[in-house]
């Protein structure tokens, strides 16, 4: 990006405004790609913990914290600077999950589910993917309709409904 900024400055100083605008477009594209990569990274963590929850039928404080943090970070990253539009719209999550993230999340989760007892293929077979997508999109959709201040309590309410969620909420083992 540094070279692009140097080129942008030179283009402006030399009066080559069409070149400068092309560089601005390139920089905007690079910025958007970086944001989308970061969102996908948090989405991967979210899915990995929801997969572990589904298969192990329990919810640990650590998993709950990771889920909550991932959703809150996705909310912050997903809204554009204009505060009125998003990088990923509500109706785009399912496709993004299925096309780009789910297989990596399954692979990562397989290393941790039951202390690595199952292969990626076994975890994939045990997984109820439609249910996973439904839970994930429901949690992500909270980010469009609720403020950052409201979000933690709403996430906690949803987490309590997951397998082992009541035990987690009530701090029972």
Q: So what's the pLDDT on residue 81?
A: 84
- Indicate if the pLDDT at residue 46 is higher than 80: yes
The predicted structure's pLDDT at residue 172: 83
pLDDT in tens, 54-63: 999 999 999 9
Q: Which residue has the higher pLDDT, 20 or 156?
A: 156
**What percent of the chain is predicted at pLDDT more than 90?**
75
Q: How far is CA 116 from the centre of its chain?
A: 23
Query: What are the pLDDT digits (tens) for 130-144?
Result: 999 999 999 999 999
- Overall domain count for the chain: 1
pLDDT top residue among 81 and 20: 81
Can you give the pLDDT at residue 1?
A: 64
71: containing domain: 2-169
Mean pLDDT for all residues in the chain: 91
Q: What is the pLDDT of residues 88-122, one digit of tens each?
A: 999 999 999 999 999 999 999 999 999 999 999 99
- pTM here is 0.87
């Amino acid at each position: 990006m540094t070279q692009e900024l140097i080129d942008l400055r030179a283009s402006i100083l030399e009066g080559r405004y069409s070149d400068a605008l092309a560089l601005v477009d390139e920089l905007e594209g690079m910025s958007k790609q970086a944001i989308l990569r970061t969102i996908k990274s948090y989405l991967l963590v979210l899915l990995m913990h929801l997969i572990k929850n589904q298969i192990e039928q329990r919810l640990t404080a650590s998993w709950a914290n990771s889920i909550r943090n991932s959703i809150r970070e996705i909310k912050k990253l997903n809204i554009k600077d204009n505060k009125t539009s998003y990088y990923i719209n509500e109706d785009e999550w399912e496709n993004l999950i299925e096309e780009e993230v789910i297989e990596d999340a399954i692979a990562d989760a397989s290393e941790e589910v039951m202390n690595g007892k199952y292969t990626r293929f076994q975890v994939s077979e045990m997984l109820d993917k439609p249910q996973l997508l439904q839970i994930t999109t429901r949690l992500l959709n909270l980010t469009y309709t609720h403020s950052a201040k409201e979000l933690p309590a709403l996430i906690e309410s949803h987490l309590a409904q997951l397998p082992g969620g009541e035990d987690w909420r009530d701090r029972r083992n």
